[in-house]
Amino acid sequence: MFVFRFIYSILLFFVSMILAPAWIWKMHKRGGWGTGLVERLGIYDDKGLNAYEGADYYHAVSVGETIMALKVIKECQLANPHYLAVIAVTTATGHQVAHAKSIINTHIIYAPLDLPPLLKKLFPILKPRKIILVDSEIWPNLLHYADKHHIPVSVINGRISARSFERFLTFKKLVAPILKTLHSVCVDGENQVNRWHTLGVPDERIHDVGSLKFDFCDKPQKPNGELQKLLEPFGKGLPSILLSSTHPEEEALLVNALKQVELPFRLIVAPRHAERRDEVTRDLISCGYNVIKRTKYKEPDGKSLNPHALLIDTTGELSQWLQVADIVIMGKCWLKKGGQNPFESVILGKTTICGPYMDNFQPLLGQLVTKNGVIQISTPDHLAQVIKNLLNNPSEAQRIAKKGQLYLEGKKGAVARTTRVILN
């Protein structure tokens, strides 16, 4: 294993050096400049970390993982008011969300690159009680360091996709010794239990606790009045359709399909990455829309013959826009990307539509489709007719939304069950 880690570390170092300029530029565009990016190189404020000596260390890559970590930390603090946690993120958006939703006794940092010299700068100061990896982030050097220093490592919301499982099986002789060092793995469903066991994790360390994604959001609240006022000039009383977490090329694909609906509605577009605002603007204009950006909001010009679209080019507001939407069309599932998390929309009681490529959320998505709680269509060519049917039959749209919401409500409780494993 030493040889494997040595080769891995050399490759990681050189790949990081090559990609560093692009990564720095991306962090700058996402608002990460000046937020402590040097921490990725193991340069930390020792005084700030000293106050969290013995805390649980949560490794959360980006926004989704950060929100899940915060949920679990809150639950741990309910059980133990003195519970301390450190959240280590790797993206600027994750860092922003962690600070925006920050809770007491929780310190937020950037995770160091998975290189031994950098890990040795952080963990001797922090001396964590436990390391918690959110959503199957497996880092060989981090796990080796933890094993060598007798720090238990847990994986929460552990999910191995079918594609990743096949890759891991190919290199099982390398993967199994790493995974055997895990203290506990929290997963959702027998399928995941079997995959982790096949890859080398002992049965007694695997806990089927359900998916944290079902506990991803709080109960539906009254929609944000300010956001509703922003939408009124786009057509008072009209239903709102939200394109949620879209990826490159999807905006034009979906908007062109929606042009065939021939019924009035308000269009909201929330790309997965806010820094794509200019690219998305150009695509929407090419589809015949006037675009108003959330960051430069002004009321639509009533004199224009073209319809208006509201572009959400901010970070951390998606949950609020989901609240005001009537129909949510998920992104990252129309061009073989694997899907974005649809469960928050469903739990909020929104009629949710997904494309054909939702591999990252199976079998959960399949269960919802079977229960008629989510609409999944095979091609954007069918989207206009589906939307037209929903707009003409609002009671049917509400029935689908309610079925999905009730089904997921019955699945909640993973946060509490995960917390019991972590505190054990």
So what's the pLDDT on residue 27?
67
| Each residue's pLDDT expressed in tens, for the chain with a length of 424 residues | 788 899 999 999 999 889 878 777 776 666 655 567 789 888 888 778 899 999 999 999 888 899 999 999 999 999 999 999 999 999 888 888 888 888 899 999 999 999 999 999 999 999 999 999 998 888 999 999 999 999 999 999 999 988 889 999 999 999 999 999 999 999 998 999 999 999 999 999 999 999 887 775 555 566 678 899 999 999 989 999 999 999 999 999 999 999 999 999 999 999 999 989 999 999 999 999 999 999 999 999 877 778 999 999 998 889 899 999 999 999 999 998 789 989 999 999 999 999 999 988 888 899 999 999 999 999 999 999 999 999 999 999 999 999 999 999 888 899 999 999 999 8
The DSSP code for 25 is: H
Which DSSP helix (H) or strand (E) runs through 246? Answer: strand 240-246
**Gyration radius from the chain CA atoms:** 22
State if pTM tops 0.85: no
So what's the pLDDT on residue 246?
97
Residue with token string 């962690």 = 98
The helix/strand/coil state of 269 is strand
Report the CATH number of the 19-215+413-423 domain. Answer: 3.40.50.11720
Report which of 286, 300, 405 is spatially closest to residue 346, judged by C-alpha positions: 405
In sequence order, which ranges of 259-393 are alpha helices (DSSP H)? 277-286, 318-324, 343-347, 364-370, 383-392
Spell out the residues 6+ positions from residue 315 whose beta carbon is closer than 8 angstroms to its own: 30, 31, 63, 93, 96, 97, 274
Please report, for the chain, the start and end positions of each structural domain, with discontinuous segments joined by +: 19-215+413-423, 225-409
Which DSSP helix (H) or strand (E) runs through 263? Answer: none
So what's the pLDDT on residue 30?
63
So what's the pLDDT on residue 221?
60
Spell out the residues 6+ positions from residue 196 whose beta carbon is closer than 8 angstroms to its own: 158, 160, 179, 185, 187, 206
Which DSSP helix (H) or strand (E) runs through 419? Answer: helix 414-423
Q: CATH assignment of 225-409, given 1.10.3720.10, 3.40.50.2000, 3.40.50.620, 3.40.50.450? A: 3.40.50.2000
Angle at 181 between CA 152 and CA 131, to 5 degrees: 30
Q: For the CA atoms of 336, 340, 346, 349, what is the dihedral angle to 10 degrees?
A: -110
Report which of 32, 12, 15 is spatially closest to residue 24, judged by C-alpha positions: 32
| One fold for 19-215+413-423 and 225-409 | yes
Strands 85-89 and 106-110: parallel
So what's the pLDDT on residue 19?
84
So what's the pLDDT on residue 34?
57
